[in-house]
Amino acid sequence: KGQLLLKQCKACGEVHYYPRTICPFCFSDDTVWIEASGQGVIYSYSVIRRAEVPYVIAYVTLQEGPTMMTNIIDCDIDSVRIDMAVKVSFVDTGEGTALPMFTPV
């Protein structure tokens, strides 16, 4: 199934990614794991035409606030746009790990 987990600071309320023990906003060490909605929008992207091509790398701004680098999958690369709504989809690496990637809504 997969879960997209983020860290939230209990002192200031800010949600941050990548996960770390100390809040990058107020430096409190009082942080907790929260489950993200998995919804976001594309902030920026690039179509890669090397290796197994083509594929889309993007920065997705999550509904909770943080922006993460990821892949956009299961869509025509020519239809990808900035501000496009996307949702998380977990892709099995075949090594027992699932990576969060995003698909258009």
Structural domains of the chain, ranges and CATH numbers in brackets: 5-104 (2.40.50.840)
- Full-model pTM: 0.89
pLDDT band, very low/low/confident/very high, at 95 (cuts 50, 70, 90): confident
- Listed range (17-26, 73-82, 89-98) with the worst mean pLDDT: 89-98
| Share of the chain residues as helix, strand and coil, in percent rounded to the nearest 5 | 5, 50, 50
Q: Would you say residue 24 has pLDDT above 80?
A: yes
Place of tokens 């990576």: 99
Query: In terms of Cα–Cα distance, which of 104, 87, 84 is closest to 43?
Result: 84
Structure tokens at 103: 């698909």
Kindly state the DSSP code that residue 102 receives in the 8-state scheme.
Answer: E
Structure tokens at 54: 């083509």
Contact 99, 91 (CB under 8 A): yes
